[in-house]
Amino acid sequence: SGNGPPKGHRYDLVVLANRLPVDQATDPDGQACWRRSPGGLVTALHPIMQSRAGAWIGWHGRPGAAPKPFNHDGIRLHPIELSAEEVDGYYEGQSNATIWPLYHDAVEQPVFDRRWRQAYHSVNHRFAAAAAQLAAPGALVWVHDYHLQLVPGMLRKLRPDLRIGFFLHIPFPPVELFCQLPMRDDIMRGLLGSDLVGFQHPQGTTNFARLAAHLLDAELADGVIKHESGVTAAATFPISIDVAGQQQLATEPPIRARADEIRRELGSPRTLILGVDRLDYTKGIEHRLTAYGELLADGRLDPAQTVMVQVAVPSRQRLDQYQSLRERVETTVSRINGRHAGIGKLCVHYLHQSYDREELAALYLAADVMAVTPLRDGMNLVAKEYVATRTDGTGALVLSEFAGAAAELRQAWMVNPHNLEALKDTLAEAAAADVAEQRRRMEPMRSHLRRYDVNRWAAAFLGQLGDPASPEPS
């Protein structure tokens, strides 16, 4: 780190996201420090931001006064202050209790609250004002995700010279669901402040264009939306992972040894079924557990030969909906173990903890069946990480039709998680597949991912936004 450029320096590339790409940590001699956060977006943008000396605007993760702007790993970081009330209203309220459930097909009832909308508006304005100050004339500005949907419109007013792109990491809902939102007009005008809006899946792109036509009488032609205040392109950019990095992890001897050790510690089962998700109601964790429990009860899976590991990373724990989900999941796990486990032989190993990439890679390597069964998911990177980790082409991916990843990982064992019988059949089939069948499905998915990694994703978006250093890939 360091003090970096003088005050008033302007940047040619500015990224905005709810969070900065660093977490507060403590170094070995007890000093507070910043550490690069794990996660795909950070990995994807880091090299581009470094080579372009870009600036990143985001929240540092705690309520109250923000640290001064600082440099970290060659990137300028500009923290945005949020008061405790704004964390409640903008982040937990409007972002995670209204927009998140609504954009995920309302699989959980969205909550509407006027006070949250005010906080969402003022925090979005703070982000836009920071970007207006930091961006060089004609700079590229890339805004990320559902927390910041008003920013493009606000920034366009402050700085009409900028090229503004917005990427939504979660699904964009159909018109009739979106129209429930009391903020619908503000959000639509906010998004249409962009030159380019990107979605994970063609469905999102279509939903957005239809909505513009429906709400604002916009004209649609050739991926471009003509509206009262200009022209916005809408296109699909499915996000990916650092495929080479993930494959590298999979070949490291300590990680391979750890995978073997995990299987031994689990009692060397014939079939290990794995789930890895944030503990979120969109991820279909309960559906997956219920299906597994019934397969044991029906005698279609043998509890002496089968183990399930469910990693449920703690998430948004202050929200009621997440607390009650946790209770339901934990009850289901206990019920399955209570009925089918033996002394020293659990059927479900439930881990409400977070793990580093190395341990996750070892779990992916150890798992015969990877169960990814969201009710709705923008993409789902866990599915892609599993495929990239299986360098020998073995392993069975069970994948929900409602994950964005289903549009690309076509050879997975595809399932509708709402259909319990289908989910049971699919899990049982995947568990019974021989190595030839596993490879027949895995190889095309692996070659797809090798071609479409996260660098290509970022270059495609920035290329279409007009970045001369990221020509659009063919």
Query: Which residues bind to ligand GDG, rule: CB under 6 A?
Result: 38-40, 169-170, 239, 276, 278, 313, 354-355, 360, 377-382, 385
DSSP state of 112: -
Could you give the CA distance from residue 345 to residue 342 in angstroms, rounded to a whole number? 5
Assigned token pair, 255: 């990680």
Q: What sign for the dihedral angle of Cα 188, 191, 197, 201? A: negative
In the complex, minimum distance from the CB of residue 437 to ligand GDG, in angstroms, rounded to a whole number: 25
Quick one: 340 or 380, whose CB is closer to ligand GDG? 380
Quick one: 190 or 404, whose CB is closer to ligand GDG? 404
Dihedral angle, C-alpha 414, 429, 450, 460, nearest 10 °: 10
In the complex, minimum distance from the CB of residue 359 to ligand GDG, in angstroms, rounded to a whole number: 8
Quick one: 33 or 213, whose CB is closer to ligand GDG? 33
Assigned token pair, 70: 């600082």
In the complex, minimum distance from the CB of residue 358 to ligand GDG, in angstroms, rounded to a whole number: 11
In the complex, minimum distance from the CB of residue 238 to ligand GDG, in angstroms, rounded to a whole number: 9
Quick one: 215 or 255, whose CB is closer to ligand GDG? 255
Give the residue carrying structure tokens 């060659």.
Answer: 74
CB count within 10 Å of CB 170 equals 20
In the complex, minimum distance from the CB of residue 440 to ligand GDG, in angstroms, rounded to a whole number: 25
Quick one: 202 or 471, whose CB is closer to ligand GDG? 202
In the complex, minimum distance from the CB of residue 341 to ligand GDG, in angstroms, rounded to a whole number: 25
In sequence order, the β-bridge partners of residue 70 are 77
User: Could you tell me which residues come within 8 angstroms of residue 219 by beta carbon, excluding any fewer than 6 positions away?
Assistant: 213, 225, 226, 227
Assigned token pair, 171: 């699904």
Q: What sign for the dihedral angle of Cα 393, 395, 399, 404? A: negative
In the complex, minimum distance from the CB of residue 23 to ligand GDG, in angstroms, rounded to a whole number: 9
CA 460 to chain centre: 18
If residue 291 lies in a helix (H) or strand (E), which one and from where to where? Answer: helix 285-297
User: Taking Cα atoms as reference points, which of 191, 183, 129 lies closest to residue 164?
Assistant: 191
- Residue type for position 199: F
Output the CA–CA distances (angstroms, integers) from residue 385 to 121, 272, 276, 350, 456, in the order listed: 36, 17, 11, 20, 16
User: Taking Cα atoms as reference points, which of 302, 270, 288, 373 lies closest to residue 332?
Assistant: 288
In the complex, minimum distance from the CB of residue 169 to ligand GDG, in angstroms, rounded to a whole number: 4
Quick one: 62 or 125, whose CB is closer to ligand GDG? 62
Angle at 125 between CA 120 and CA 128, to 5 degrees: 130
In the complex, minimum distance from the CB of residue 316 to ligand GDG, in angstroms, rounded to a whole number: 11
In the complex, minimum distance from the CB of residue 202 to ligand GDG, in angstroms, rounded to a whole number: 15
Assigned token pair, 307: 């183990």
Quick one: 11 or 457, whose CB is closer to ligand GDG? 457
Quick one: 62 or 278, whose CB is closer to ligand GDG? 278
Assigned token pair, 326: 């946790």
DSSP state of 117: H
User: Taking Cα atoms as reference points, which of 384, 226, 240, 367 lies closest to residue 309?
Assistant: 367
Could you tell me if 95 and 18 are in contact, meaning their C-beta atoms sit under 8 angstroms apart?
yes
Quick one: 289 or 454, whose CB is closer to ligand GDG? 454
Quick one: 126 or 316, whose CB is closer to ligand GDG? 316
In the complex, minimum distance from the CB of residue 78 to ligand GDG, in angstroms, rounded to a whole number: 22
Quick one: 159 or 384, whose CB is closer to ligand GDG? 384
